[in-house]
Every structure is written in C-alpha cells, then in structure tokens.
Amino acid sequence: MIVFKQKGFSEYDAMRSLYVELMKRTHNDKRRFPIINTSALLPILKGNNIVVERFVISTSMFGKDKYRMYLKIGAKAKLPDEVRLPSRYYDERLGNMRLTINGSIFGQSKQKEMSERIKLFSGGNNKKKGPKSIVSAEMSPEIGIKRSVEKLLGEAIKYDKKARTLVLEFSSIDDAIEALNVLPFGIDYKIYLLDS
C-alpha cells in the first residue's frame, strides 16, 4: 500500500504549477479556466460547471510524484454512477537490437576448395589462384524493440455522488490537464479554478 506524504511545498505551489501549464496550452487565454474565490463558489456550483477545488502533489514511498485533483461538480452537470477515465495508448521503448549480416559470393571456404583442385590438376606449379570473392556485403540494421501500452489517464480515488465531489489521481500534470477535457459529466461543462 502506498502511503502519501505531503511534499515540502505548499498547495498554492501545486495549484500554480497546474495553472501555468493550463496557460501554456491555451496561449494565456484566461477565459478558458477562470479563477474564482470562495464567495463565487456557490453561484458557480448552481450551473453546469466543474470547480477544481484543490490540486496537490504527493510523493509515494517509491519516490514517484502523484498528483491529486479535488473537484466539486455543479448541480446541472450529469453525474454517472461511477467515474472511470478513458485509457490512452502509447509505445514504450524497451531498447534496441543490432543484427549484423555478412555475406559474399564465392566465400572463403569455396575459394579454398577451388584452390586445392587447381593445385591437384596442375601439379602444384600453377601460379593461378582460385577465384576471389566477387561481392561481399555487411549489413547492420538496428531494430527498435517496443511494446504498446494501455494506461488509464487517471484514477478515481474517491467519488461521492450525493455530495457531488470527486478526487482524481494522476501520474503527471499533463494527464491531469487531459482529463479535464474528458470528464464524464455531460457536455459543455465549464471548468473553474478555486483560489483558496
């Protein structure tokens, strides 16, 4: 079991990291992800809106950062019975393999055999030598070894349909941002960030 320990930086720093990445992707269009304060929270939650209430970064005992997003779901957003984020597929590179192929026409073993025959029939005095390699080639293709991996975009850690809250866990900020576009709460929902 993974035990989460809060890192040394604040929740504000984690939320700021999320906001900076969102602004990069939207070319600083602040209308796409407006920031609200707690006084605007209740009116926003009456509509078809999702509010990112908190975003925290935690470190597991294996040393990998995990990202948790705490969401509040507006009254007009559709709620599923359970939340499951879609999978994404990518190729994982396992390494390279180099295969060397050498080849020639009339190779050395054939050349030696023919030289022996020439000596036998010429009494060994013939200065002619057996045929040399006409063509030789070496090929070393590099083969990339990959495997196709299916990975969930994120995992629902806690979902309370009645309280309209959801906690999602991700392995990267990029995954968290991707998930904001595919939340299972209907269409045309708007996302707000809570400035706490």
| Dihedral sign (CA 193, 161, 83, 168) | positive
Phi-psi region for residue 65, left (φ > 0), alpha (ψ -120 to 50) or beta? beta
Average pLDDT over residues 27-34: 92
Tokens of 109: 């073993």
pLDDT-derived band at 13, boundaries 50, 70, 90: confident
What residues pair up with 104 in beta bridges, in sequence order? Answer: 136
Average pLDDT over residues 101-121: 59
pLDDT-derived band at 90, boundaries 50, 70, 90: low
Backbone dihedral angles phi then psi of residue 41, each to the nearest 5 degrees: -65, -50
pLDDT at 113: 60
Residue 81 CB-density burial (10 A; 0-12 exposed, 13-18 middle, 19+ buried):
exposed
Average pLDDT over residues 112-134: 57
pLDDT at 109: 53
- CA-CA-CA-CA dihedral for 148, 178, 22, 194, to nearest 10: -140
Strands (E), the chain: 5-6, 35-36, 49-59, 65-73, 87-98, 101-105, 135-139, 142-152, 155-160, 165-170, 190-194
CB 178 within 8 A of CB 151: no
pLDDT at 60: 66
pLDDT at 105: 57
pLDDT at 8: 46
pLDDT at 6: 46
pLDDT-derived band at 32, boundaries 50, 70, 90: very high
Instruction: Provide the mean pLDDT of the chain.
Output: 80
Residue 40 is given by DSSP the state G
pLDDT at 147: 74
Question: 138 pLDDT exceeds 80?
Answer: no
pLDDT at 168: 96
Highest mean pLDDT among 72-86, 99-113, 117-131: 72-86
Average pLDDT over residues 141-169: 87
pLDDT at 4: 45
pLDDT at 72: 97
Residues with Cβ within 8 Å of 183's Cβ and at least 6 positions away in sequence, in order, are 50, 71, 189
